[in-house]
Amino acid sequence: MLAIDGSTLDFKRLDRLALQNTVIHRIDARVKVVTTIVFIICVVSFDRYTIAAMLPFLSFPIVLSVLGNLPPGYLLRKLLLVIPFALAIGLFNPLFDRQVVLRFGELNVWGGWVSCASILLRAILTASTAIILVAVTGFPAICAALQKLGMPQVFAIQLQFLYRYIFVLTDEAVRVARSRQLRSFGRRGLGLHQFGSLIGHLLLRTWERAERIHMAMLSRGFQGEFQATWGKGRLGRDDLFFISGWSALFVFFRFYNLPQFLGNLMTWRIP
């Protein structure tokens, strides 16, 4: 249970990181969201055997986390939570794709291994960038930015509420799980059957809370539509520089294989 406790606490830490005031934090949320989307599209659109050409993309998360004053250890731990899922997707590639694409002396590398590594690298790139985006922008600001960029309000509000109540729900879940654990004396309680009713119980509680939240909204004059909050509307010079600079760089990385170019340069100079 400690694991659940710990991961919620970490979540709050992500939230506190977003309250910092650095160069990166000051950039408009819309700009950061769009740049991240361009980044993700460029990364996922590579051919499935690509590895080397994707490496320059690591510069984006690294620069952002350094300038945004984010603790690298914390980011790595968050990233480790995501990697197993990516691994599960790429795991069977080596079994199906046995075409030899690389040779290191005696060692033949199948295409499946290469594509598996490629999937892993993509997961590292996209997941780390997404975590960093939240840590330098803050979740509510991302929701507001998405809405300003044209996402329907219903979805933006859904996301915002999800984020607001995930803290309350995890607290509740931890309490329920703890009380079960304390009365099961190191055994597994009554097993899966009881676990089902525990989850059902949580669902009912959530349902009731939703009803009470709705009551609280109605009693403050809610009439079905959220009024827009006022944020800064205009993009500044830094914002435009950020979005155009990074986007241009991503497109360049996407179409020119930088590592290969450097490699060629080296082998040409040093025969």
Partner 1 sequence: MSHHIVEARHLHHIYPDGTTALKDVSFRVHHGESVAIIGANGAGKSTLLLHLNGYLGATSGEVVVGDLTVSKKNLVDVRRTVGMVFQDPDDQLFMPTVFDDVAFGPMNMGLPKSEVERRVKDALDRVGAQNLTDRPPYHLSGGEKKRVAIASVLSMLPEILILDEPTSGLDPCARRQLMAMLRAFHHTRIITSHDLDMVMELCERTIVLHEGQVMADGPTLEIFRDESLLDRCCLEKPFAMQNCPNCSPKTIDNPAQKPLIVPHPDKPHHHSHNR
139 binds partner 1 (CB under 8 A): yes
15 binds partner 1 (CB under 8 A): yes
155 binds partner 1 (CB under 8 A): no
CA–CA gap between residue 137 and residue 27 (Å, rounded): 8
Binding positions for partner 1, 184-243, rule CB under 8 A: 209, 212-213, 215-223, 227, 229-230
Please work out, in degrees rounded to the nearest 5, the angle formed at the alpha carbon of residue 227 by the alpha carbons of 221 and 212. Answer: 45
Shortest Cβ 222–partner 1 spacing (Å):
6
12 binds partner 1 (CB under 8 A): yes
164 binds partner 1 (CB under 8 A): yes
Shortest Cβ 194–partner 1 spacing (Å):
27
Determine the residue type at 11. Answer: F
Shortest Cβ 219–partner 1 spacing (Å):
4
Determine the residue type at 29. Answer: A
Shortest Cβ 141–partner 1 spacing (Å):
8
Per CB under 8 A, the list member of 85, 155, 167, 261 interacting with partner 1 is 167
Beta strands in the chain (DSSP E): 100-104, 107-110
What values do phi and psi take at 92, rounded to 5? Answer: -90, -5
Determine contact, residues 28/235, Cβ cutoff 8 Å: yes
Considering Cα of 10, then 11, then 13, then 17, what sign does the dihedral take?
A: positive
63 vs 168 by CB, closer to partner 1: 168
Binding positions for partner 1, 91-110, rule CB under 8 A: none
Shortest Cβ 230–partner 1 spacing (Å):
6
Q: Which long-range contacts link 201-210 to residues 24+ away (Cβ below 8 Å)?
A: 201/176, 202/169, 202/172, 202/173, 202/176, 205/172, 206/165, 206/169, 209/165, 209/168
- Which residues contact partner 1 (rule: CB under 8 A)? 12, 15-16, 138-140, 143, 160-161, 163-165, 167-168, 209, 212-213, 215-223, 227, 229-230
